């Protein structure tokens, strides 16, 4: 080996070492920078036997969880700015816990009375998040809670009957299928998708975001003029479990208003962003008069999959009454190129297998 090669290897090794150091340094910094976000440990809490992961902290021996976690028990959770308190509502009764205090004021609708009682430990705000003592709050909601020392697990029993309102598919004995496009309308993919649907004579359902409807009213009108179905997909696309009940209502209502203002329609179909809902959100959506629409085929098109992979997924997962999840959003210019390319092939392929394309509305009418 000559000196030159030796020198090369040396430099190379130094380079590798340098890169390693940078990676380590970056990793260390990223741990410290993100330290604040992940300063809480996480654990599952079982609600009616179902595990829900949550961050938590221990204070004076009490298990504290984010107030919003209680939405999994079906309770509504809100903030009262004026009194700086968190408000839990279950059916007609509610109670407010001022942040930083050790008491809760409860209102009972049947007797029209207020009652104050004390908590094991004050409700606290940490990193802009309100933590409440889980056991106290669950008991105040009239539910049972149990800590199993052997398993080191906490079990909550709501003693309420859970009827899920989520709809995943239509009638399995009819060969109907619904194409659904989320997150639009916009100006890049929506027109391409509409052109294909028009050429093929296929109706689809667009789960629109309020802010997109406001930004692209003409595209919204085109969707309706070309005979497609509409559904509500919130105004700003938040994950519903992370926002208060009032915010959930606002997201849905403002979108409903925007759709009605633009095309004069009030669709009663709703799809939660990321498919994420708590039991409480499900109840609220139903109370607002909406049906929660999920899907049976997730094309994963938003991950930038090429057309052939999307086709494979549709092939694998399609069933009569199926609902196919696709998107129309331009996060980066080529993101949905595969999805758009796959669309005419999906249509031809499923038609050759005897499927008829309908809107989600028609799919549900045929249940
Ligand atoms: Zn979405």
Express as a percent the part of the chain with pLDDT over 90: 82
Query: Once rounded to an integer, what is the mean pLDDT over residues 44-60?
Result: 95
Grade residue 37 by pLDDT with cuts at 50, 70 and 90.
low
pTM of the model: 0.87
- Measured in Å, residue 298 CA sits from the centre of ligand 1 at 12
Is pLDDT at 18 greater than 60 in this prediction?
A: no
Q: Mind listing the pLDDT tens digit for each residue in 176-189? A: 999 999 999 999 99
3-class DSSP state for residue 364?
helix
In CATH, the architecture of 42-157 is 2-Layer Sandwich (3.30)
In the chain, where the domains are located: 42-157, 166-365
- Measured in Å, residue 218 CA sits from the centre of ligand 1 at 21
Grade residue 26 by pLDDT with cuts at 50, 70 and 90.
very low
Express as a percent the part of the chain with pLDDT over 70: 90
Measured from the Cβ of residue 288, the count of other Cβ atoms closer than 10 Å reads 15
Query: Once rounded to an integer, what is the mean pLDDT over residues 352-367?
Result: 97
- Residue with the bigger pLDDT between 332 and 11: it is 332
Distances (CA, A) of 255 to 52, 65, 231: 29, 31, 10
Q: Mind listing the pLDDT tens digit for each residue in 281-313? A: 999 999 999 999 999 999 999 999 999 999 999
Whether 327 is a known active-site residue: answer yes
Q: Mind listing the pLDDT tens digit for each residue in 95-136? A: 999 999 999 999 888 899 899 999 999 999 998 899 999 999
Q: What are phi and psi of 49, to 5 degrees?
A: 85, -10
- Measured in Å, residue 280 CA sits from the centre of ligand 1 at 20
- Consecutive H or E run containing 213: helix 210-215
Grade residue 322 by pLDDT with cuts at 50, 70 and 90.
very high
* pLDDT at residue 32, rounded to an integer: 36
Q: What is the dihedral of CA 279, 302, 300, 244, to 10 degrees?
A: -10
Query: Once rounded to an integer, what is the mean pLDDT over residues 14-23?
Result: 39
Among candidate residues 52, 72, 228, 327, the one labeled active-site is: 327
Q: Mind listing the pLDDT tens digit for each residue in 146-198? A: 998 888 899 999 999 988 889 999 999 999 999 999 999 999 999 999 999 99
CATH 3.20.20.370, domain 166-365, yes or no:
yes
Please give the distance of CA 359 from its chain centroid, rounded to a whole number: 22
E strands, 73-133, are 76-80, 85-90, 93-98, 103-108, 113-118, 124-126, 129-133
Judged by average pLDDT, the poorest of 4-18, 72-86, 247-261 is: 4-18
- Measured in Å, residue 147 CA sits from the centre of ligand 1 at 37
The mean predicted confidence, pLDDT, of the chain is 90
- Measured in Å, residue 61 CA sits from the centre of ligand 1 at 40
Among candidate residues 78, 182, 183, 301, the one labeled active-site is: 182
- Cβ atoms of 205 and 181 within 8 Å: the answer is yes
Query: Once rounded to an integer, what is the mean pLDDT over residues 233-241?
Result: 98
- Cβ atoms of 329 and 149 within 8 Å: the answer is no
Sign of CA dihedral 282, 208, 324, 363: positive
* pLDDT at residue 35, rounded to an integer: 42
Nearest residue to 266 via CA among 208, 321, 186: 208
Which residues are within 8 A (CB) of 84 and not within 5 positions of it... i.e. 6 or more apart? 98, 99, 100
* pLDDT at residue 39, rounded to an integer: 80
């Amino acid at each position: 080996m000559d000196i030159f090669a030796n020198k090369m290897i040396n430099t190379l090794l130094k380079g590798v070492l340098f890169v390693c150091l940078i990676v380590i340094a970056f990793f260390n910094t990223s741990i410290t920078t993100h330290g604040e976000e992940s300063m809480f440990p996480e654990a599952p809490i079982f609600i009616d036997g179902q595990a829900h992961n949550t961050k938590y902290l221990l204070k004076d021996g009490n298990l504290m969880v984010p107030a919003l976690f209680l939405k999994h028990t079906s309770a509504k959770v809100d903030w009262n700015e004026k009194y700086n308190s968190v408000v839990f509502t279950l059916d007609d009764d509610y109670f407010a816990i001022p942040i930083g205090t050790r008491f809760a004021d409860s209102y009972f609708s049947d007797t029209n009375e207020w009652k104050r009682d004390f908590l094991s430990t004050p409700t606290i705000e940490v990193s802009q998040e309100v933590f409440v003592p889980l056991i106290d709050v669950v008991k105040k909601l009239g539910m049972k809670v149990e800590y199993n020392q052997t398993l080191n697990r906490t079990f909550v029993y709501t003693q309420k009957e859970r009827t899920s309102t989520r709809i995943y598919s239509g009638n399995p004995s009819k060969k109907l299928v619904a194409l659904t496009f989320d997150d639009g309308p916009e100006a890049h993919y929506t027109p391409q998708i509409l052109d294909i649907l028009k050429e093929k004579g296929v109706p689809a359902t667009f789960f629109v975001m309020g802010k997109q409807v406001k930004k692209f009213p003409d595209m919204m009108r085109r969707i309706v003029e070309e005979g497609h179905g509409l559904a509500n997909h919130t105004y700003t696309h938040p994950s519903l479990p992370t926002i208060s009940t009032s915010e959930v209502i606002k997201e849905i209502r403002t979108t409903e208003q925007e759709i009605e203002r633009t095309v004069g329609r009030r669709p009663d179909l709703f799809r939660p962003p990321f498919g994420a809902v708590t039991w409480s959100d499900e109840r609220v959506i139903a109370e607002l008069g909406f049906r929660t629409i999920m899907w049976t085929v997730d094309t994963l098109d938003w991950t930038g999959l090429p057309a052939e992979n999307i086709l494979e997924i549709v092939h694998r997962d399609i069933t009569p009454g199926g609902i196919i999840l696709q998107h129309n959003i331009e996060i980066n210019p080529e993101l949905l190129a595969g999805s758009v390319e796959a669309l005419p092939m999906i249509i031809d392929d499923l038609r050759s297998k005897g499927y008829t394309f309908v809107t989600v509305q028609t799919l549900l009418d045929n249940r």
